[in-house]
């Protein structure tokens, strides 16, 4: 075996084992034929193509040939990503309490929030992961209901000057408060993503967990919590970086990633857009880092939507 052949064999590891058993020898024959005879290393172009196509085979996106199957698969991943995001965001009070139980940790305040919402969202996530969308939808609507009940029961609202006139109107105050909560938009968007799936024919779900672990870890890192040192000031830059990475992965490998990222970014942007106008009304808009980063997040969202549209068209073309 020559050095070039050995290097090509190593690159072919990007493909799953079953695929390699069927195709590796044949591909190697072609690679050795196409490569120049005096070459000792694979060309960058060939190497990149092997890695990208190998990862596409692994993700399964290469088998989603028709518009319908691609749409359903993207909706499924979008719903699951939103539910992971929802669980991570709404589980903060629980994480906070657990963190305080550890020796050496203390705080002057208690992070509030309903524990029913993350529990229902977790059940919705498990149901959606196994393609029981009817149950998942019911749990998601239940989680949204729990959020409404919690905020109304505790009379939660943002005490900001421009909305002071709404003091007397409880429903409006609660509605405004809910519009500023990411969990509201997560529930709403996840439910919208699941509705078309209720009628779609579903392939049997075999191993739904592998990618979920990755997504959950990514979103957990993005969310300010004790695990990442409550790094709130880093949250927006991390969201921008994660959104950019999703756009790149969506364009090169799997369009479903940029579609799901668009939905998650939207669920994070909408509460910010509901909240920030109060600050802008009070203090005026300025070139503050937070405003710039919010603009960057919206820009990244637009990039992901554009990438999703272009990559989805390319995906279904022969």
Partner 1 sequence: MREPTYFILAALQEEPLHGYAIVKRAHELSDGRVRLTTGTLYAALDRLSNEELVQVAEEAVVNGRARRTYELTERGLSALHEEAARMVAAARVVRVRSARSTAATVQTAPA
Q: Which residues bind partner 1 (CB under 8 A)?
A: 23, 25-31, 33-34, 45-46, 49-54, 56-57, 62-63, 65, 314, 317-318
- 200 or 316, CB closer to partner 1? 316
Please identify, using beta-carbon distances, which residue of 34 and 102 lies nearer to partner 1: 34
With CA atoms as reference, report the closest residue to 53 among 65, 44, 61: 61
Which two structure tokens, joined as six digits, stand for 51? 């890695």
- Cα→Cα distances 103→107, 144, 225, Å: 12, 34, 17
| Residue closer to partner 1, measured from CB, 210 or 317 | 317
CB of 53 to partner 1, least distance (A): 4
Least distance in Å: CB of 254 to partner 1? Answer: 13
> What DSSP assignment string belongs to 192-227?
HHHGGGGTS--PPP---HHHHHHHHHHHHHHS-SGG
Two tokens, residue 246: 């999703």
Number of H helices and E strands in the chain, helices first, is 13, 0
* DSSP tag of 163: G
Which tokens belong to 10?
Answer: 């190593």
Tokens of 118: 């993350």
Closest CB 70 distance from partner 1, rounded Å? 13
Question: Minimum distance between the CB of residue 1 and partner 1, rounded to whole angstroms?
Answer: 11
Choice between 97 and 314, CB closer to partner 1: 314
Closest CB to partner 1 among residues 24, 231: 24
H or E stretch covering 67? helix 67-90
**What are the tokens at 56?**
């596409």
Give the H or E element holding residue 263.
helix 255-283
Three-state DSSP string of 88-123 = HHHCHHHHHHHHHHCCCCCCCCCCCCCCHHHHHHHH
Of 54 and 118, nearer to partner 1 (C-beta) is 54
Report the nearest approach of partner 1 to the CB of residue 200 (Å). 20
Return the number of the residue (64 or 128) whose C-beta is nearest partner 1.
64
Question: Is residue 52 within 8 Å of 254, Cβ to Cβ?
Answer: no
């Amino acid at each position: 075996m020559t050095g070039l052949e050995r290097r090509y064999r190593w690159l072919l590891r990007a493909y799953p084992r079953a695929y390699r058993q069927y195709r590796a020898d044949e591909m190697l024959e072609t690679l050795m034929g196409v490569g120049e005879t005096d070459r000792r290393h694979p060309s960058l172009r060939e190497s990149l193509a092997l890695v990208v196509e190998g990862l596409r085979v692994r993700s399964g996106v290469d088998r989603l040939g028709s518009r319908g199957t691609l749409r359903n698969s993207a909706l499924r991943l979008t719903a699951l990503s939103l539910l992971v995001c929802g669980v991570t965001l709404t589980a903060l009070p629980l994480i906070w309490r657990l963190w305080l139980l550890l020796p050496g940790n203390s705080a002057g305040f208690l992070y509030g929030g309903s524990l029913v919402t993350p529990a229902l969202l977790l059940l919705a996530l498990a149901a959606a992961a196994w393609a029981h969308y009817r149950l998942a939808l019911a749990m998601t609507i239940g989680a949204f209901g729990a959020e409404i009940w919690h905020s109304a029961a505790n009379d939660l609202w943002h005490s900001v000057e421009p909305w002071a006139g709404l003091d007397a109107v409880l429903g409006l105050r609660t509605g405004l408060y809910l519009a500023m909560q990411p969990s509201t938009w997560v529930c709403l968007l996840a439910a919208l993503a699941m509705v078309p799936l209720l009628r779609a024919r579903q392939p049997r779900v075999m191993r739904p967990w592998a990618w979920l672990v990755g997504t959950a870890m990514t979103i957990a890192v993005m969310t300010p919590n004790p695990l990442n040192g409550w790094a709130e000031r880093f949250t927006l830059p991390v969201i921008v970086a994660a959104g950019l990475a999703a756009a790149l992965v969506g364009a090169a490998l799997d369009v479903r990633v940029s579609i799901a990222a668009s939905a998650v970014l939207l669920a994070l942007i909408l509460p910010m857009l509901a909240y920030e106008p109060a600050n802008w009304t009070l203090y005026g808009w300025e070139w503050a880092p937070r405003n710039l980063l919010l603009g960057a997040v919206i820009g990244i969202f637009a990039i992901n939507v554009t990438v999703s549209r272009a990559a989805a068209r390319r995906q279904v073309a022969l």
